[in-house]
Amino acid sequence: MLRSLSDLRNYALYAIDGKIGSIHDLLFDDKYWTLRYFVVDTGTWLPGRRVLISPVAVGRADWSSQQIRVRLTRDRIKEAPAVNADPPVSRQEENRLASFYAWPTYWAMRDPPVIPPQEAAGYREKAHASSNGDPHLRSLREVSGYHIVTRDGVQGHLDDLIGEEGSWGIRYVVVDTRNWLPGKRVLLSPKWIDSVNWSQAQVFVDVTSEQIKDAPAYDPAMPINRAYETRLYDAYGRPTDQ
146 contacts: CB under 8 Å, gap ≥ 6:
157, 158, 196, 201, 202, 203
Name the band, by pLDDT with cuts 50, 70 and 90, for residue 133: low
Statement: residue 160 has pLDDT above 50: yes
Residue of 25, 8, 32, 38 lying closest to 193 (CA atoms): 32
Which of 33-44 are b and which e, b meaning 16 or more Cβ less than 10 Å from the residue's Cβ?
Answer: bbbbbbbbbbbe
Statement: residue 126 has pLDDT above 80: no
Q: To the nearest whole percent, how much of the chain has pLDDT over 70? A: 88
From the number of C-beta atoms within 10 Å of its C-beta (0-12, 13-18, 19+), residue 138 rates as buried
Q: What is the pLDDT at residue 134? A: 62
51 and 96 Cβ atoms separated by less than 8 Å: no
In whole angstroms, what is the distance from residue 25 CA to residue 5 CA? 9
3-state DSSP call for residue 124? helix
3-state DSSP call for residue 54? coil
CA dihedral of residues 20, 25, 29, 33 (deg, nearest 10): 100
Name the band, by pLDDT with cuts 50, 70 and 90, for residue 112: very low
151 contacts: CB under 8 Å, gap ≥ 6:
205, 206, 207, 208, 209
Amino acid at position 194, single letter: D
Task: Give tens-digit pLDDT for 54-86.
Answer: 999 998 889 899 999 999 999 999 999 989 888
In whole angstroms, what is the distance from residue 38 CA to residue 27 CA? 6
6 and 144 Cβ atoms separated by less than 8 Å: yes
